[in-house]
Structure 1
Amino acid sequence: MAKDMVPIYTVQKEGFPKMVGTLDSRYELPGRNFFNDTAIPQVYRKRRREVQADIATVKYFSTTADLWSSRTSEPYISLTVHYIDDNFDLKSHCLQTSYFPGDHDGINIAAGLKEGLAAWVLSEERQVAITTDNTGNIIKAVENYNQWERVHCFGHRLHLAIENAVRSEGDRITRATGVCRKIVGHFSHSWKKRVALKTAQIEEKLPDHVLVTDCQTRWGSTQKMVERVLEQQPAIHRVLSSDRKTRHLLPSWQDLEVLESVNKALSPFQEFTDALSDENHVSISYLRPVLHLFNTSMLAEKGGDTDLTKSLKGKILNYLNTKYEESKELLNMTSFLDPRFRTQYFSMEETQTIRERVTSELMQIQQQQHRPAAQSSAAMETARLDVEPPPPAKARKKTLASFFKSSAGADAAGTSVAEFDPVVQCRESVAAELNTYIYMPCIDQEEDPLKWWKCHKINFPWLSKLAQKYLCIQATSSASERAFSTSGNVVTAHRSCLKPSKRKGRTSPSAKASYSDLMRHQAKQHTPAKLAAAVTQEKLTFCVGWGANFTQVPQPVSIDGADIEVVSSYKYLGVHLDDKLDRSCNTTAIYWKGQSRLHFLRRLGSFNVCSDMLHMFYKTVVESALLYAAVCWGGNQMDKDRRRLDKLIKRAGSVVGRGLDDVGTVVGRRMRSKVQSILANPNHPLHSTVSGQKSSRSDRLPSMPCRTECFRRSFIPSAI
C-alpha cells in the first residue's frame, strides 16, 4: 500500500479478499484499521531508521526545497537531502513532505526549513547549499533569514529567461502560440477530427503523433506543442481546410514564420533541462560548461536565423549570464572538481582564484581535524604523567656505537622543530595535488566523475574531500517537484478527504515530522539540565499547539530521550487548558468552584451580616475564584460559558443585595488596566509589541489586523 500508493480500503473491497482467499483460504485478512494503525506505521518507522542510519555519518550534504498546494488547496513543504557517501555514491532522500499551514512568508519558511533539518539531526554547518526556485518568499527565507548558500534552479531560471524574452517581443508570439492552442483544443474535443487527422497523416506520410497540449507555466510543453503543430502542419491544413466552419483556425504564413523562429530558438534547451534534472547523477558541475556552450555555439547568431530568432537568443543569453554571475564562484568550484572539465572553461585568472580558494578551504579542514587530534594527544600526555615512572634500570657500560647514536639524535632534535610544521606540510601537499590534478588529461564526457574520484581518492586525499562536498549539489529542484508528483498521486479525487496527518507516511519518511519539530522547538527553550523539570511545560505546549492544527496524536512522544505524556487537558498555573482551545474545560472547573464558594456566601448571609461585609466576602472569596486570570481566558471564552458564569454572579448579587459586575465588564476593566501597565513598564516582555502598535500621528492604539477569530479575541487585540 505504501509502496504502490494503493488505498487502504482495498482490503475491504470484494476483489482483494477473494484473491487472498483463493491463494490461501486459511489466512484471515486483517481489517483496514490494522493496516492504518499498525502495518503502515511499522513500514514508516523501519524506513525512517534506515534513512537515519544513512545520513548519520554524512560529512557534507545539500538540500532542495519547494512549496506545493494539494487538490484540496492544503499547503505542503518538501525537503530533500543529497550527499555523497564514502564510496562516492550520490544518494538522495525525501526527508519530509509536511503539512505547512499559516502564512508563507520568509520567517515561517525559514523556521520550517531549520526545523526540518533539526528533525533529522542534520547540522546547518554541514549543508553546502540549497537549491530552490526563484519565488520571493523562499529567497528571503534562505538568504536573508537563514543565510544559507542558495543555488538557482536551472529549470526555473531558464523558464524565466524564455518568458521574459517572449514577453519583450510583443503580441506576435502570443498570437501565434494562441493559434496553436486553439488548433490543439479543437482536435482534443472532437473525436471525428482526430480520426480525420490520422487519415491525413497516412495520406501525407507523416508520423502517427498526437498533438501536445501545453502548460503555460512550463516553457518545455509550449515548445513541444509548437514543434508538433509544425510537424503535422500538412495534415492539419488538410483537415481544417476541408470544413468551412474550421478554416478560421488555419494559421497564417506570418504565424508559421513566428512559430518556426520560436521553435528554432527554444528547441536546443529541452535536452539540457532533462539532463540536468536527474538527481542520481552529478549535475551542478555542468552549469558552467553549459553556459559556455550557450555563449559560443547554441545561442550564437547563425546565418540562417531570422531577426526574431536572433532577438530571442540574445535576450535569453543575456538574462542567464546576468543571473548566474552572482553564483559564479560556486559554479567554477564545482566544474573544477569534475574531472571531465577541470580548467577547460576557465581563464588563467579564474584558475588562480580557484587554486587559492581550494587551498584555503583545505587548510580549514586540516585545522578542524588537527584540533581534536591535538586535544587527544594532550589528554594522553596528561594520562601518561599520572602513571608512576618505572624504577631506574641498572647502569650499563657505554659502547662505541652509543656515542654515534646520541650525536645523531641531538642533530635531529635541533632540526625537527623547523622541519615538521603541519600547516606547511598540508599546504605543500595540497599544492602538489593541485598541480597533478590540473595537468592530468580530462576524462571522457560520458564517464561518471564519482567513479573516477572513487578510484583516485588515494592519489588525491585532499581534493577528494572537496569533491565529496561540492558535487552533491543539485542543479535543479526537480527532487522536490517529484515528491509533489508523488503526493498528487496520493491525494487524488477519490482521496481528497484524506487528512494531512494520514498523508505524510505515504509520501515521505516523515509522518511525524511536524509534531516532532513542534516539540523540539519547545525543548530548545530549556537547557538539557532543566529538561526533566520542564516536562510539565511540554505537556502544556502540546495541549495548546497540537489541538489547533492537527487531528491525530502520534505515539510515542519523547524529547531528547525523555518520555512526554500526552493529555487532552491540563491545569497550569490555575488555568485549565484543553486540546480544543475553546476554554470550556476551564469554565466548567471554575463554575463548580464558584458554586462551592457561593455556598459559604449564603451561609454568611443567613446570619444577617451587613451588605458591605457580604460584598467584601464576595470580592475576596467568590470573585477571586471565578475570575482568576480572566485576562488570559476572558476574550476567547464562548458565549454559552460566559452566560453560565453570569448566572452565578447574578445569584451572588441577590445574596449580597446589590448589583455585581458581570464577566465582560470585569474582563474589559482588567484588560485596560493590564495594557496600561505594560505601556508604562519598558522592561515588560510585551512592551515593544504593544507600543509598536501606536499610531504615527498620535498616541492612539489602532486595532490590529487579525486573520482568525481566535487571535482577534486574544489578550492584546482585545485590550487594544
Structure 2
Amino acid sequence: MTNCPICVNGHEPSQHSCIICSKFVHLHEQCSKSVDGEEEGSSEKRICLECDHRNVEIFTANCFESEKTAVVEKNEKQTVQQDDDKQSLKNFFHYEKVEDMKHGFCLICGKDESGNYKTKIPMKASNTTGLKSHLQRHHRKQYEKLFPLETSRKKSSNTKLQSTLDRFSIVSENKCTTERRIVTWVCFKNLPKSFFDDRETQNFFAFFNKNIPVPSKNQANIMIKEEFKKMQKNVKNLLEKNKSKFAFTIDAWSGKTRKSYYGVTVHYIDKNWTLNSFAIDFSPSKGKHSGLDIAHTFYEIAKFYNIHDKIAGITVDNAAANIKFTSELSKILKNDKIDFDPDDQHFRCLAHVLNLSVQDILKLMEVECYDGENCSDEEEEEEEEEEEKEEEVDDDDDLDNIPDYEIEDFESKQKFISNVVNKIRKLLKKIRNSEKISLRLEACCKVFDIKYKVPLSDSKTRWNSTFDMLNNAYQMKDALDQLCKTYDTLTCVEPSEWILVGRLLEFLGDYKRVSERISGEKYVTLPGAVIAFNCLLDRLEKKSFELDEQEHLNEIDRILILAFQKGRDKLINHYQKCNWIYCISLILDPRSKAIGLQKTGWSRELHDETLDKFKSVFKIYYDKYFIDDCTEEPALKKCRKSEEDLDFDILFVKPKKSIVWMNEINKYLEDPRPDSDTDILLWWKLHANEYPIIARMARDILCIPATSVPAERLFSEASLVLTKTRCSLKDDSLRELICINRWMRSNNREEICEIK
C-alpha cells in the first residue's frame, strides 16, 4: 500500500514508465488523468519531475531527498501564491462549488436576466490561472491594478519579442521624417488629401500611437507642397551629378476635366552603368497643343533641372506637331548656343508605328474594334488623338491591281472576315453578361482539360485588345463549341471560321511580341528595336510570298496578302524616317556590332553608310574627350644642318591623333562578340576601360528609349488620381501627386524620396 502524491490517499499504485527519462512513476490510476492531462488508456505517456516537463509535481521512485525537499518547498510557495491570488481575486469573483468542483463566478460580468452569473470559470485543484486569464482578456484595467508587476514585466518582454511593433511605440524626433512618410504614403496609394479628416481614421492611427500627427486636408496639402519641393531639389542634384547625356520622352494627355497635360520622363545611364528612368514633370498645357507650345514647355522643364545642354535624344509619337516641336526646340536652344539636331535627335515612337501598321491591316479586312458600352469618353478622346497623330493620308489604291469582275467577290470575303470577328465578339459578350453561362463555360473547360480564361472585350483605341479577345476565345474553342451546343441562344463558330481566326492570331501575335519587347523601361531598347522591326518585316514578306506561291489561291488568301503588304508598307514608310542613331545603337550593342547590320535586309543596304556615320560620331567624341598625355615630338629634337640631311629622329616620333584614333574602333569591331543573353550594360561596365571613347558613346546613346511608352505610363497614373470624384484638383496638386508617386516607384526612390 503506497500513498499517491496527488491525492495522498493510500491505494494500490500503477507503475508507468516515463517517456523522457525511462524511470518509473508510481501513481494512483484514478489520479493519472489529473497529472498529465491525457485521456485514460494512454498511460504510457507519463512525464515525471526528473525531466522537468509540463511542470508536473510528482515523485519518482529514484528521486533524491534533496530534490524531494526542493519540490515540497516549491509546492508550498505556489500554495501561498495561490492563496494570495485567491484573496486578491475575491473582490472580483464569487467562489462556489458546483458538481464537486470549485468555480469562480465573475462579479464584473454580472448576472443575466434569469439571475445566473454570465461567466463561470472552473478552478481545478483551486487553481486561479483561469480567473487571472479572464481578467487579463476581458477586464484589462482591473487586471493591471491587481497585478502591476506582472503587467510591466510582460510589456517589457513584448517590446523585445515583437520588434515589428517598435515603430508604433517610438515617435521619431525628426518632424520632417514623419511628414515625409505621410506624404509618400498618401501619394503612393493615390489617397485623397482629406483621407485623415474622418474620426475613424484618426482613431485607427491613435490606437497605435497617440503622438502620430494626423493632418487635416489643408495641412496635408501644405505638407505635400513642401515635400515635393524637397524631392524636386533632390532630383535636380541627382541629375546635375550625372556626367553623361539624357534622353527624354514627352507626350500629351487629356483628362476628365478636358484639360491637356504634358508628361515628361528622363532616362540616363549613370557611372555604375545602371539605366535610370523616372518622371521629371507633369505640366499643364496652354490649350494649344502646338509644336511651339510643346517646345517652350519642354525647354522650361529641362532648363529648371539644368540639363537642357545635355540632350541625347527625345522620343515622341508620330504626331505632326512633334516635327514642329523638335524644329522649334532647335531654334530655342540655338539662342543658348546649344546644338540640337531636329532630325538625328528626334526619335519616333516605334510602338505607335506598329499600331498604325496593325490598324491598316484590320481596316483592310474590315475588322474594326468594338464600339460599344465598354468604350468610355476618355477612350473616345484617345481615339481622336490617335487619328490626329497619323501624318499622311492613306492612299485608296488597295484594289487597283484587282480586276473589276473580282472586286465584288473580294468585298464579300472582306465581309466574311469581319463577320467572323463580330460573331466571336457577340458570343463572348453574351457569356460575360450571364453568370450561369460563364459557370457552364468553366465546367466545359474542365471537361476538355483547358485553362479557363475570362472572356474579354476589345476596345477601339487598343488593337492588342482585339488580339487578346480572339486569342482567349481560340484557346477555349473546344469548350465554346460544346457550350454553343448546350444553349440555343448562342451562335456556334464554324471550324473554317476558327481556322481563319488562327491565321489572324498568327501575324497579330508577331506584332504583339515586338511591341512588348521594345516598350521596356528598365533595360536598353533602342538596338533591339532595330532587330525586331527587321524581323517583323522579313516575316510579313515571307508570309506574303508563301501565300502567293500557293497553287490554289482563294479570295481570303488574297485579302491576307494585301493586308500583309499594306502593314509592311506602313512600317517601311515610317522606317525611312528613322535617323542614323538607330543603326549606331546596333553597333554599340556588343552582341551584334557591325555584323548585326548584315543580318537584316534593310540594314544590309546601309552597312557602309552606317559605319561611316559611326566613325564620324566617334571622331567627335575622340576630339572632345581624348587626352594626349605626351607630346607628338621627340623629347630632345636635334637641329639638322640643312633640309637635305636625313632626319633619323622621325622614326621615334609618336603617332599623331589623326593616325591612332581608328585603333579603338578596329579593336572593338574585331574582338569576339558575347553571347546573345549577355546584359549590355553589364558588359560595358566590365569593358569601359578597354574602349573608353566608345563607352562614352554607349552611355549617351543606349539610354534613348525606342518608344514613348514611359510617358504614357504617367497617364495611367493620372487617370487614377484625376477621377470623377477628384475633378477639382488644381494643376499644381495633380503634378505633385503624380510626380511623387512615380518617384516612389522608381529605382532612384532612396536618393529622391530619402526612403528605402
TM-score of the superposed pair, with normalisation by structure 2: 0.58
* 1:13 correspondence with 2:198: yes
* 1:162 correspondence with 2:358: yes
**SS at 1:267 equivalent:** helix
* 1:235 correspondence with 2:479: yes
Q: What letter is aligned with 1:486?
A: E
Equivalent positions of 1:556-635 (< 5 A) are none
> For residues 221 and 518 of structure 2, what CA distance do their matches in structure 1 show?
38
Paired residue for 2:254, among 69, 73, 78? 69
* 1:42 correspondence with 2:226: yes
* 1:278 correspondence with 2:520: yes
**Number of the residue aligned with 2:621:** 365
Paired residue for 2:264, among 66, 73, 79? 79
> For residues 23 and 80 of structure 1, what CA distance do their matches in structure 2 show?
39
Alignment check: 8 A CA contact 2:450 2:476 kept: yes
> For residues 245 and 531 of structure 2, what CA distance do their matches in structure 1 show?
24
TM-align CA RMSD: 3.2
> For residues 418 and 42 of structure 1, what CA distance do their matches in structure 2 show?
68
* 1:93 correspondence with 2:278: yes
- What are the superposed Cα offsets for residues 154-205 of structure 1, whole Å, 9 maximum, x if unpaired? 2111010111122223443443332232222222222222122212222333
**SS at 1:506 equivalent:** helix
**Number of the residue aligned with 1:536:** none
Equivalent positions of 1:287-366 (< 5 A) are 287-297=529-539, 300-301=542-543, 307=557, 308-327=559-578, 329-347=580-598, 350-366=606-622
Identity of aligned residues (%): 21
> For residues 10 and 415 of structure 1, what CA distance do their matches in structure 2 show?
86
Tell me how far 1:333 sits from its aligned partner.
0.4
- What are the superposed Cα offsets for residues 55-90 of structure 1, whole Å, 9 maximum, x if unpaired? 113431111111111122221111111111222211
Pair 106,211 (structure 1): closer, same or farther in 2 beyond 3 Å = same
Paired residue for 1:259, among 473, 476, 501? 501
Pair 294,412 (structure 1): closer, same or farther in 2 beyond 3 Å = farther
**Number of the residue aligned with 2:657:** 426
Alignment check: 8 A CA contact 1:58 1:83 kept: no
Tell me how far 1:12 sits from its aligned partner.
1.5
> For residues 697 and 615 of structure 2, what CA distance do their matches in structure 1 show?
10
> For residues 290 and 426 of structure 1, what CA distance do their matches in structure 2 show?
38
> For residues 530 and 298 of structure 2, what CA distance do their matches in structure 1 show?
28
> For residues 681 and 635 of structure 2, what CA distance do their matches in structure 1 show?
51
Pair 269,420 (structure 1): closer, same or farther in 2 beyond 3 Å = farther
Tell me how far 1:510 sits from its aligned partner.
12
**Number of the residue aligned with 2:458:** 214
> For residues 289 and 333 of structure 1, what CA distance do their matches in structure 2 show?
13
* 1:127 correspondence with 2:311: yes
Q: What letter is aligned with 1:450?
A: L
* 1:114 correspondence with 2:274: no
Alignment check: 8 A CA contact 1:264 1:309 kept: no
**SS at 1:501 equivalent:** helix
Pair 407,134 (structure 1): closer, same or farther in 2 beyond 3 Å = closer
- What are the superposed Cα offsets for residues 99-119 of structure 1, whole Å, 9 maximum, x if unpaired? 213221222222222222222
Q: What letter is aligned with 2:680?
A: P
Question: Which segments of 5 or more consecutive residues in structure 2 lack a partner in the other structure?
Answer: 1-185, 331-341, 367-413, 551-555, 599-603, 642-646, 743-756
**SS at 1:508 equivalent:** helix
**Number of the residue aligned with 2:325:** 141
Alignment check: 8 A CA contact 2:537 2:568 kept: yes
Tell me how far 1:145 sits from its aligned partner.
6.0
> For residues 141 and 69 of structure 1, what CA distance do their matches in structure 2 show?
19
Alignment check: 8 A CA contact 2:286 2:293 kept: no
Paired residue for 2:687, among 456, 462, 468? 456
Tell me how far 1:368 sits from its aligned partner.
4.0
Q: What letter is aligned with 1:410?
A: K
Alignment check: 8 A CA contact 2:292 2:328 kept: no
- What are the superposed Cα offsets for residues 340-376 of structure 1, whole Å, 9 maximum, x if unpaired? 11122324874443343233223323444589x99xx
- What are the superposed Cα offsets for residues 306-351 of structure 1, whole Å, 9 maximum, x if unpaired? 7254443333233213321222522210100000111223248744
Pair 238,327 (structure 1): closer, same or farther in 2 beyond 3 Å = same
Tell me how far 1:255 sits from its aligned partner.
4.0
**Number of the residue aligned with 1:197:** 441
Tell me how far 1:26 sits from its aligned partner.
4.2
**Number of the residue aligned with 2:431:** 187
**Number of the residue aligned with 2:216:** 31
> For residues 426 and 354 of structure 1, what CA distance do their matches in structure 2 show?
23
Question: Which segments of 5 or more consecutive residues in structure 1 lack a partner in the other structure?
Answer: 378-405, 512-720
Alignment check: 8 A CA contact 1:355 1:434 kept: no
> For residues 215 and 259 of structure 1, what CA distance do their matches in structure 2 show?
18
* 1:490 correspondence with 2:724: no
Tell me how far 1:97 sits from its aligned partner.
1.1
Q: What letter is aligned with 2:638?
A: A
15-24 vs 173-182, greater mean Cα deviation:
173-182
Rg larger in structure: 2
> For residues 453 and 231 of structure 1, what CA distance do their matches in structure 2 show?
43
- What are the superposed Cα offsets for residues 554-574 of structure 1, whole Å, 9 maximum, x if unpaired? xxxxxxxxxxxxxxxxxxxxx
**SS at 1:96 equivalent:** strand
> For residues 497 and 605 of structure 2, what CA distance do their matches in structure 1 show?
47
- What are the superposed Cα offsets for residues 531-553 of structure 1, whole Å, 9 maximum, x if unpaired? xxxxxxxxxxxxxxxxxxxxxxx
Q: What letter is aligned with 1:35?
A: A
Q: What letter is aligned with 1:356?
A: D
Paired residue for 1:54, among 205, 223, 238? 238
Pair 143,331 (structure 1): closer, same or farther in 2 beyond 3 Å = same
Q: What letter is aligned with 1:235?
A: A
Tell me how far 1:504 sits from its aligned partner.
0.9
Pair 420,118 (structure 1): closer, same or farther in 2 beyond 3 Å = farther
Pair 426,466 (structure 1): closer, same or farther in 2 beyond 3 Å = farther
> For residues 118 and 455 of structure 1, what CA distance do their matches in structure 2 show?
33
> For residues 293 and 446 of structure 1, what CA distance do their matches in structure 2 show?
18
Pair 425,91 (structure 1): closer, same or farther in 2 beyond 3 Å = farther
**Number of the residue aligned with 1:702:** none
> For residues 468 and 236 of structure 2, what CA distance do their matches in structure 1 show?
41
- What are the superposed Cα offsets for residues 414-453 of structure 1, whole Å, 9 maximum, x if unpaired? 99999879xx743444311111111122212222111111
> For residues 239 and 653 of structure 2, what CA distance do their matches in structure 1 show?
37
Alignment check: 8 A CA contact 1:95 1:510 kept: no
- What are the superposed Cα offsets for residues 501-555 of structure 1, whole Å, 9 maximum, x if unpaired? 21111111699xxxxxxxxxxxxxxxxxxxxxxxxxxxxxxxxxxxxxxxxxxxx
Equivalent positions of 1:627-646 (< 5 A) are none
Pair 212,139 (structure 1): closer, same or farther in 2 beyond 3 Å = farther
Paired residue for 2:703, among 455, 467, 472? 472
- What are the superposed Cα offsets for residues 361-405 of structure 1, whole Å, 9 maximum, x if unpaired? 23323444589x99xx9xxxxxxxxxxxxxxxxxxxxxxxxxxxx
Pair 312,11 (structure 1): closer, same or farther in 2 beyond 3 Å = same
> For residues 19 and 333 of structure 1, what CA distance do their matches in structure 2 show?
58
